[in-house]
């Protein structure tokens, strides 16, 4: 089968790989569409996030690995001891490895498992014609949800988990820092949760134009003082979602929230940031963070099926697997007019 395999920084090769059989408790999926995530970009451009050295304790794999953790497809084979799934089912994959035995898994917080990992980063992923995953990762995809939308369930789950984890109430005001795919999906999620005003902050007009189409008020922080602009227009924000992960956006997020407000960190921030805890103290405000998602895929699928989350709006390009490097991994860094690029794996 054809697969996009990570060998190292700036070294992703589309090559032929053996099609693995589904072992006990596993499901083989014929992938239809897969999305390129920021984690894939970090792996390609910076060589970080991939399982190198020792094999992952749950996947039993290490690099070179097939990338891709946002994908949907059709079940093509079942291993022994798999129930509730049949060959031919349309499915989406929740790509989190978890042991089911540690204290966090037992508490239902499997996204904090002591052996946590991602399909596509810690084991072979969905940038391939076929992928084998654990059966606990598989969720049904209704007929009225396309495979393209299915490929967006995973990043939407990140955004919706952050919104649901926050203290946002219907009618409150929101600011989203960073209008990349996760920021855009956070805008959609906050809108679905009843936010009355949503401000989108970014430095690229192309991204802000997409945010505006989703119903957000765009603020270009390269052209205006984002904090002053948001405070003047809103009178203060109830919840700020930090999906950019740089010092200026963290500073602004803390400054725009009202007394008793909240800042929710979604971005994976690679370098430590300073936090103005005195300002948080004076406001009796909250600073919290979220990691991926848990117990939310079925709700995301239902919201998409019902039209409450129109995730198709963030798709800006579809490409073939052969062109993943030039038209995907490279293009997303150079052309900020793109949000979510999907890879059509099997027609």
pLDDT digits (tens, 9 = 90+) for 15-36: 999 999 999 999 999 999 999 9
Residue that the structure tokens 């939310």 belong to: 296
Per-residue pLDDT, averaged over 283-294, amounts to 98
**Across the chain, what does the average pLDDT equal?**
97
Q: Are 197 and 231 in contact (CB under 8 A)?
A: no
Predicted confidence band of residue 232 (pLDDT cuts 50, 70, 90): very high
Residues in the chain: 347
Whether the pLDDT of residue 347 is over 80: the answer is no
Burial class for 72, CB neighbours closer than 10 Å (0-12, 13-18, 19+) = buried
Distance separating alpha carbons of residues 181 and 244, to the nearest angstrom: 11
Cross-strand partners of 123: 119
Q: What is the pLDDT of residues 160-194, one digit of tens each?
A: 999 999 999 999 999 999 999 999 999 999 999 99
Cβ neighbour number for residue 23 with a 10 Å cutoff: 12
Q: What is the 3-state secondary structure (H, E, C) of the chain?
A: CEEEEEEECCEEEEEECCCCCCCCCEEEEEEEEEECCHHHHHHHHHCCCCCCCCCCCCCCCCCCEECCCEEEEEEEEECCCCCCCCCCCEEEECCEECCCCCHHHHCCCHHHCCCCEEECCCECCCCECEEEEEHHHEEECCCCCCHHHHCCHHHHHHHHHHHHHCCCCCCCEEEEECCCHHHHHHHHHHHHCCCCEEEEEECCHHHHHHHHHCCCEEEECCCCCHHHHHHHHHCCEEEEEECCCCHHHHHHHHHHEEEEEEEEECCCCCCCCCCCHHHHHHHCCEEEECCCCCCCHHHHHHHHHCCCCCHHHHEEEEEEHHHHHHHHHCHHHHCCCCCEEEEECCC
Whether the pLDDT of residue 282 is over 90: the answer is yes
The phi and psi torsions of 316 (rounded to 5 degrees) equal -115, -10
- The CATH label, of 3.40.50.720, 2.120.10.70, 3.40.50.920, 3.90.180.10, for the domain at 2-141+310-344 is 3.90.180.10
Cis peptide before 296 (omega within 30 of 0): no
What pLDDT, on a 0 to 100 scale, did the predictor assign at position 346? 86
Domain 156-289 belongs to what topology? Rossmann fold (3.40.50)
What pLDDT, on a 0 to 100 scale, did the predictor assign at position 271? 87
Whether the pLDDT of residue 290 is over 80: the answer is yes
Q: What is the pLDDT of residues 316-337, one digit of tens each?
A: 999 999 999 999 999 999 999 9
Q: Are 35 and 73 in contact (CB under 8 A)?
A: no
- For residue 197 the two structure tokens come to 């005003």
Using alpha carbons, list the distances in angstroms from residue 203 to 144, 221, 223, 271, 335: 36, 5, 8, 20, 13
For CATH 3.90.180.10, the residue range(s) in the chain are 2-141+310-344
For CATH 3.40.50.720, the residue range(s) in the chain are 156-289
What pLDDT, on a 0 to 100 scale, did the predictor assign at position 344? 98
What pLDDT, on a 0 to 100 scale, did the predictor assign at position 188? 98
Percent of the chain with pLDDT over 70: 100
Predicted confidence band of residue 223 (pLDDT cuts 50, 70, 90): very high
Q: What is the pLDDT of residues 74-111, one digit of tens each?
A: 999 999 999 999 999 999 999 999 999 999 999 999 99
Sign, CA torsion 197/202/205/209 = negative
Cβ density class 257-267: b for 16+ within 10 Å, e for less: bbeebbbbbbb
């Amino acid at each position: 089968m054809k697969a996009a395999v990570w060998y190292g920084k700036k070294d992703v090769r589309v090559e032929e790989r053996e099609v693995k059989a589904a072992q006990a408790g596993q499901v083989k999926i014929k992938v239809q569409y897969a999305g390129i995530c920021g984690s894939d970009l970090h792996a390609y451009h910076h060589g970080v996030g991939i399982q190198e050295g020792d094999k992952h304790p749950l996947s039993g794999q290490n690099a070179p690995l097939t990338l891709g953790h946002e994908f949907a497809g059709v079940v093509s084979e079942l291993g022994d001891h798999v129930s509730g799934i049949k060959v031919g089912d349309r499915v989406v994959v929740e790509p989190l490895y978890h042991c089911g035995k540690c204290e966090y898994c037992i508490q239902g917080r499997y996204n904090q498992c002591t052996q946590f990992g991602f399909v596509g980063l810690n084991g072979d992923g969905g940038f391939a014609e076929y992928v084998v995953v654990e059966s606990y990762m598989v969720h049904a995809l209704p007929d009225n949800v396309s495979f393209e939308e299915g490929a967006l369930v995973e990043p939407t789950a990140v955004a919706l988990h952050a919104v649901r984890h926050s203290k946002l109430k219907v009618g409150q005001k929101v600011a989203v820092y960073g209008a990349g795919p996760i920021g855009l999906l956070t805008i959609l999620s906050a809108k679905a949760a009843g936010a009355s005003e949503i401000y989108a902050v970014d430095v690229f007009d192309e991204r802000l134009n997409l945010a505006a189409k989703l119903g957000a008020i765009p603020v270009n922080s390269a052209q205006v003082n984002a904090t002053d602009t948001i405070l003047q227009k809103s009178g203060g924000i109830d919840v700020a979602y930090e999906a950019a992960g740089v010092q200026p956006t963290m500073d602004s997020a803390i400054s725009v929230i009202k007394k008793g407000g909240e800042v929710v960190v979604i971005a994976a921030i690679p370098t430590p940031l300073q936090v103005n805890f005195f300002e948080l103290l004076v406001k009796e405000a909250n600073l919290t963070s979220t990691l991926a998602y848990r117990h939310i895929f079925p709700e995301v699928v239902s919201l998409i099926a019902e039209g409450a989350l129109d995730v198709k709006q963030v798709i800006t390009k579809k490409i073939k697997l052969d062109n993943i490097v030039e038209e995907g991994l490279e293009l997303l860094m150079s052309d900020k007019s793109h949000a979510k690029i999907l890879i059509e794996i099997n027609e």
